[in-house]
Every structure is written in C-alpha cells, then in structure tokens.
Structure 1
C-alpha cells in the first residue's frame, strides 16, 4: 500500500476533564473507538506484516521462560517500516497521551507489538518504568488491540492507584516479580480492574509506574496488540539504576549521557 493511501490518524479526539481526572487518580483508563474499524483493519495488516517479519523469537512456546511465554515482543517497528511509522507517530494518539498526562508535548520512547499466542502464558505483575532511565513520572503507554479481544485472550489488568507509590521494587518481569508484587498489591489493598472485552481500535492507557499484569491466552487466537510509549517533553536521563535501564539508555536513547535531555533521534517530539 502507498503511504499516502493510509488513514492519516491526525484528527484530534477530545478527552473529557472527568476522564483525565479519573486516569490521574487510578493510573489507567480506557478510550473506546479512537481508531475506526476501517482504519484499524488497514493498520492491522501493516503492523502484522512488520511484526512477523522482524520477530526474532524462534523457540517453541514450551521452550521459553516465563517472559518469553507471555508474548512475542517486537520493538520500534516505526523505525523499520514506513506504514507502521505513520501509525506510531499519529498525532491523534499523542494528543490523547499529552491530555491525560496534563502536559503540552510528548515524545516517543518506543513502540512495541505484543502478541500473546494461543496457549501463551501469563504476564507477571510489573512496572514498565523499571526499565526506563527517565527522571519524570509523566510517562504513559497506549495499549491497543488490533482485533476484538476478551478476558480469555489475556486482558491487561491494573492495580488502581498503584502509580502514586512510584518505584516499588528493583525487579524485572519474572515469576519473582509476580510473587513479590502480588503480595505488595494485596498488602496495599489496591483495587484490581480490567475490561471484560475490548474492540479493535479501543485503547487502554497507563502510567509507567502503574502496576499491571495479564492472564494467559486460553483462546485459539493470537492476542494482537500494538503499544506506544510516550513521555513528557523536557524529561532528562537519569543514571541507570539497573542493567535494563542501561540497555534502554543505549538502545532507545542512543547512548545519551545521564542528566541530558531525553531527546535523541529515536524520541521525536509529536
């Protein structure tokens, strides 16, 4: 498909003040139908094509560890595919991200396709920002299914209000994070919330510090999800707190030095 034939995704969608306040209170929210059925059908083809072309996971599902069983994870597709680039850099999404965060401008951290295969395992409780060497709490992830999904396919699940506690534990996504953070959530009595179903083109949004997880996929269909991570313009890079943050500093921030602006060529202003 020619790039100029793709839906532009540049029309703005206004989010109510009530929903913004709800997001900032709970740390997550759902925005229905921000991409139309026709638009998502076109982009699903583009994202699927790129995701499977650039997927590097060759092991059988049963041979992977917990992280590997949770999903196929293909990152920064916007850098290698022009059609996906038009999706990832869409002003429609960036405007919603900025409005929910209450900031004027956002930058891209990276995108990633997260495909949970039939029989795919659970995604343990974790905090995304554990991986990000950024000095701001103004970070947000858009999580959009490319097909209609329901609970049995592995619906994203949130611990409401957990973002307000900030950093909890220096631990990567693993069986250990599931055990430790599940106990933490129980002790803090955070309410557990998730949608029962989402349609293609709906999106959930959550802060980088919001604790979240997902059950395994017990259906016969792959849960196709595309995500985009944003952060507020003006954020700076912190000295990495773990090996994963150092890897991210090198990979997604082009090796920029700590205390410099997080504004590499991979982090365009949207």
Structure 2
C-alpha cells in the first residue's frame, strides 16, 4: 500500500432531526454510504492485514467456546498503524456519534475489528456497556462492514428500545447472557430489527445498553467489520462492577482513578 493516499474522512455526514429521534427512541440506527466504496476498500486492506498480523486466536472452531466462535477480535489497531488511526479518528464518524446522542463532543473509547469467520458461531444477546466502567448512557458504537454483507453472514440484530432498561447485570457475552437477555427481549416484546444486507461503508450505530446479537456466519466468506466506540466528553469513570470493567479501566483509560474523567491519552476528543 506504499504510495497510496488515504482519504481523511473529515467531511461531514448530515444527521437529520428525524434520524436523531429514531436513534434515541430505538437505541440503534442504520445509515447508508457513510464511506464510499473506493475509500472503504483502501481502509479494508489495512484493517484486514492488521487482523491477520495481530489476531491471537489460532484454535480450531470446534475447540473454542461460544465467545471464541462468535468472531475474531483485534482491538485498537489505530495504535499500531497511522493510516488506520486516520480511519478511527475520523471527524465524520465522531460527528455522527455526537449528533445522534445529542452531545457536543465525543471521545474515543477504543476501536475493534470483529471478523466473523465462515462457519463462525452466533454472537449471543449482550450489552456492550457491561464491559465499560463509564457513568453515562451517552455511549455509542459504530459497526461498519468493510465488504458487502448479507443476512446469512451474521448481520447485527437489535432489540429496539431495549436501551431504556440500562444495566441488566453482570452478564458477559456467553450462553448465559443469551438465555437471560433473550428471555427479557421476549418478555418485553421488543421488536427485533436486522438489515437484510449492508454495503461496505454503511454502518449501524447503537447505544451501549442496547441489547443485540448476531446469527452465525453461514456463508463461505468472512464477515469483515470495523467498530469504533465513542463516549460523550465529560463522562466519568465509575466503580468497576466486574473484572472486565477493571481490565478496561486499566487498558483503555490507562488506569485513571474512579471518579475521574474518561480522558486518558487513549481517549482524545475526535470532533
């Protein structure tokens, strides 16, 4: 990729008041063509290579637990590649996140590539924010396919309105979370929303407490997705409620103290 010029993705993507209302009511939204096909293809090669280089999961699918079968997960590629940093630090993505949440500024929490291999298992029902020691509901994840994906590849699936429930207990992504949270979805009667297809450069955005899952990948291709998590500027570090939150406090907030701002060197303002 030497000699290629990577787009800076700094131009704005307009969010309407209707889209903001849809997001805030449902806890998720699908937006089309945030990045055009040529630009996303350039970044796709970088991220794909990063996953191949830094992936640490080498077990056969049959030897993994439910979490391990769900996806290959490689975090904070921006720390090891300046061009991927250009993607993660995109003002376009950050402004969309801020506009949907209705806040002025957002900070980076971390990025993560989520590659669901061909034949990969389902992703159980879960809440992202279970993992985060953050005292605000103004958190949001961008989930962007790097290639065109179809429903059979493991499309992200949302329980619309479920973010209103907030923290639902110490339930890591697991068979248990699938059972417990799946029962809540049924009991509450939340509409289940899943796109039939997404183009590379489309993206969903969902709140930290929104219940979501994904089917297994029944295709012959890897579902390549890049995600970026944003948090509203001014959020504080909450007392960790589980070992995962303490690990996150140490890694993504660099061990800053409980009660302090989510504002380490790894959490810059992006818009």
TM-score range, shorter chain: over 0.9
1:52 Cα offset (Å): 1.0
5 Å-filtered alignment, 1:242-261, equals: 242-261=242-261
Q: CA RMSD in A?
A: 0.9
Structure 2 length normalisation: TM-score? 0.98
Give the secondary-structure state (helix, strand or coil) at the position aligned to 1:267. Answer: coil
Structure 1 length normalisation: TM-score? 0.99
**Residue in 1 that maps onto 2:184:** 184
Give the secondary-structure state (helix, strand or coil) at the position aligned to 1:62. Answer: helix
**Structure 1: runs of 5+ lacking an equivalent:** none
CA distance in structure 2 between the aligned counterparts of 1:222 and 1:181, rounded to whole angstroms:
27
Are residue 175 (structure 1) and residue 178 (structure 2) matched? no
**Structure 1 stretches (4+) deviating beyond 3 angstroms?**
1-4
5 Å-filtered alignment, 1:5-16, equals: 5-16=5-16
1:4 Cα offset (Å): 7.6
1:169 Cα offset (Å): 2.2
Deviating more after overlay: 48-57 vs 98-107: 48-57
Q: Deviations over 1:89-128 (max 9, x none)?
A: 0001000000000000000000000000000000000000
CA distance in structure 2 between the aligned counterparts of 1:153 and 1:131, rounded to whole angstroms:
25
CA distance in structure 2 between the aligned counterparts of 1:71 and 1:164, rounded to whole angstroms:
27
Question: 1:158–1:194: 8 Å Cα contact kept in structure 2?
Answer: yes
CA distance in structure 2 between the aligned counterparts of 1:41 and 1:147, rounded to whole angstroms:
8
Give the secondary-structure state (helix, strand or coil) at the position aligned to 2:52. Answer: helix
CA distance in structure 2 between the aligned counterparts of 1:3 and 1:106, rounded to whole angstroms:
32
Give the secondary-structure state (helix, strand or coil) at the position aligned to 2:19. Answer: helix
CA distance in structure 1 between the aligned counterparts of 2:166 and 2:109, rounded to whole angstroms:
19
**Residue in 2 that maps onto 1:24:** 24
**Residue in 2 that maps onto 1:267:** 267
**Residue in 2 that maps onto 1:151:** 151
1:3 Cα offset (Å): 8.1
**Residue in 2 that maps onto 1:92:** 92
**Residue in 1 that maps onto 2:112:** 112
5 Å-filtered alignment, 1:200-239, equals: 200-239=200-239
**Structure 2: runs of 5+ lacking an equivalent:** none
CA distance in structure 1 between the aligned counterparts of 2:146 and 2:218, rounded to whole angstroms:
18
5 Å-filtered alignment, 1:51-70, equals: 51-70=51-70
CA distance in structure 1 between the aligned counterparts of 2:4 and 2:219, rounded to whole angstroms:
36
Give the secondary-structure state (helix, strand or coil) at the position aligned to 1:206. Answer: strand
1:2 Cα offset (Å): 5.3
Question: 1:3–1:82: 8 Å Cα contact kept in structure 2?
Answer: no
Question: 1:133–1:245: 8 Å Cα contact kept in structure 2?
Answer: yes
State the number of aligned residues.
Answer: 270
Question: 1:3–1:83: 8 Å Cα contact kept in structure 2?
Answer: no
